[in-house]
């Protein structure tokens, strides 16, 4: 059987999928990206796990990789802020050495956007943006039915647009990037900064080490004032950024993707409301804010596999 392997490399986890001829994920696996002390040891494990997915009768026709700051042109991961290792990592060449098949690389958010276009809610759209919300904040941008790469392969870094000059320190080393406000750590920082305004909140009484975005979502569902305020602020931060992004991409929809979106409408509604409140009038009421229609573990894997 002809198969492809899709690999989604994230700052926290790396996910693998063995993809059949009809796009079905036949096997899945994951490893913890941050548990490796060097890039070489990480690549060795990636190659080993990819090989384990194959049966002797399988015909591997290609491997697609999505990674933070993955450059489709150079085949390198270049200075990814949320990866354990920095500088230029020749991942495509390293994987190519181990397998006798084509290997392709793209940005992880681009891979998620490709997955949404081919298998998800964007099948009938030519202009849309996928925003990935997790350890980092990325974006994959489709314009006129094609993925935007830019001349250097790095187009689509909405997470590193400086929305608040002089603001929070971002993992990229600059201040005020929207990623520092709406990624997982950013949401927890908002909690730490705002909780003293809500002395009657149950959430405010919990030790910070026991809190994550899922916990905040659970308290928001119960009507906790602090938890609802945190998602209102997060919606304000991200909504403003999407309103600005509308001016240079004008998509039909923004798809929110990633673990943070599991809190559902508690996040989506304030994002959409603040986006419309900050939108230039010629764009108002034209773009939807919706969740990805693909499971979190599938979109980037399928999109990466589609590269080959």
How confident is the model over 212-223, as pLDDT tens digits?
A: 999 999 999 999
Contact at 8 Å (CB) between 302 and 140? Answer: no
The verdict on 34 and 177 lying in the same domain is no
The verdict on 237 and 148 lying in the same domain is yes
The verdict on 35 and 170 lying in the same domain is no
- The pLDDT value given to residue 306: 85
pLDDT band per the 50, 70, 90 thresholds, residue 140: very high
Q: Which domain holds residue 133?
A: 123-292
Give residues with Cβ within 8 angstroms of 201, minimum separation 6.
195, 219, 224, 225, 226, 227
CA distances (Å), 100 to each of 12, 42, 91, 235, in order? Answer: 28, 20, 15, 46
* pLDDT tens column, 191-209: 999 999 999 999 999 998 8
Whole-number percent of the chain with pLDDT over 70: 100
Contact at 8 Å (CB) between 109 and 287? Answer: no
Residue 25 and residue 270: Cα distance in Å, rounded? 34
The verdict on 264 and 211 lying in the same domain is yes
pLDDT band per the 50, 70, 90 thresholds, residue 81: confident
Give the sign of the dihedral formed by CA 266, CA 238, CA 155, CA 286: positive
Contact at 8 Å (CB) between 50 and 7? Answer: yes
The verdict on 169 and 99 lying in the same domain is no
Mean pLDDT taken over the chain? 93
The verdict on 80 and 154 lying in the same domain is no
Contact at 8 Å (CB) between 143 and 127? Answer: yes
The verdict on 287 and 149 lying in the same domain is yes
What does the DSSP assignment read for 204-244?
Answer: GGS-GGG--HHHHHHHHHTT-HHHHHHHHHHHHHHHHHHHH
Give the sign of the dihedral formed by CA 66, CA 1, CA 121, CA 264: negative
Residue 172 and residue 81: Cα distance in Å, rounded? 5
Residue 58 and residue 60: Cα distance in Å, rounded? 6
- Residue 296, pLDDT > 80, answer no
The verdict on 147 and 235 lying in the same domain is yes
More confident residue, 209 or 255: 255
Contact at 8 Å (CB) between 167 and 180? Answer: yes
pLDDT band per the 50, 70, 90 thresholds, residue 143: very high
- The pLDDT value given to residue 79: 81
pLDDT band per the 50, 70, 90 thresholds, residue 307: confident
The verdict on 75 and 158 lying in the same domain is no
- Residue 52, pLDDT > 90, answer yes
Mean pLDDT of 263-284: 97
How many folded domains does the chain comprise? 2
Q: Provide the β-strand partners of residue 32.
A: 13
The verdict on 59 and 157 lying in the same domain is no
- The pLDDT value given to residue 37: 86
Mean pLDDT of 91-114: 92
The verdict on 145 and 272 lying in the same domain is yes
Mean pLDDT of 226-247: 98
- The pLDDT value given to residue 184: 94
User: What CATH number does residue 80 fall under?
Assistant: 3.30.420.40
| Tally of residues, the chain | 308
Mean pLDDT of 152-181: 94
Contact at 8 Å (CB) between 161 and 178? Answer: yes
Which range is least confidently modeled, 58-62, 85-89, 113-117, 218-222?
85-89
The verdict on 103 and 163 lying in the same domain is no
């Amino acid at each position: 059987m002809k198969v492809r392997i899709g690999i989604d490399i994230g700052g926290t986890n790396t996910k693998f999928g063995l993809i059949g001829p009809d796009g079905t994920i036949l096997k899945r696996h994951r490893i913890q990206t941050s548990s490796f002390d060097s890039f070489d040891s990480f690549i060795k494990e990636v190659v080993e796990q990819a090989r384990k997915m194959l049966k002797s009768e399988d015909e591997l026709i290609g491997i697609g990789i999505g990674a933070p700051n993955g450059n489709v042109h150079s085949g390198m991961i270049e200075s990814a802020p949320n990866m354990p290792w920095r500088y230029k990592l020749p991942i495509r060449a390293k994987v190519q050495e181990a397998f006798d098949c084509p290997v392709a690389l793209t940005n992880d958010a681009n891979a998620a956007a490709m997955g949404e276009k081919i298998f998800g809610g964007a099948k009938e759209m030519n202009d849309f943006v996928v925003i990935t919300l997790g350890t980092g904040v990325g974006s994959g941008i489709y314009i006129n039915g094609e993925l935007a790469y830019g001349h250097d392969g790095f187009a689509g870094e909405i997470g590193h647009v400086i929305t608040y000059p002089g603001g929070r320190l971002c993992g990229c080393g600059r201040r005020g990037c929207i990623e520092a406000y709406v990624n997982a750590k950013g949401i927890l920082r908002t909690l730490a900064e705002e909780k003293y305004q809500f002395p009657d909140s149950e959430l405010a009484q919990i030790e910070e080490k026991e809190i994550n975005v899922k916990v905040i979502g659970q308290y928001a569902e119960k009507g906790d004032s602090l938890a609802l305020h945190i998602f209102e602020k997060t919606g304000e931060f991200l909504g403003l950024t999407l309103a600005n992004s509308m001016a240079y991409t004008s998509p039909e929809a923004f798809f929110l993707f990633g673990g943070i979106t599991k809190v559902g409408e508690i996040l989506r509604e304030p994002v959409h409301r603040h986006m419309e409140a900050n939108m230039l009038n010629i764009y108002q009421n034209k773009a939807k804010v919706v969740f990805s229609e693909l499971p979190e573990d599938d979109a980037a894997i399928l999109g990466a596999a589609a590269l080959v």
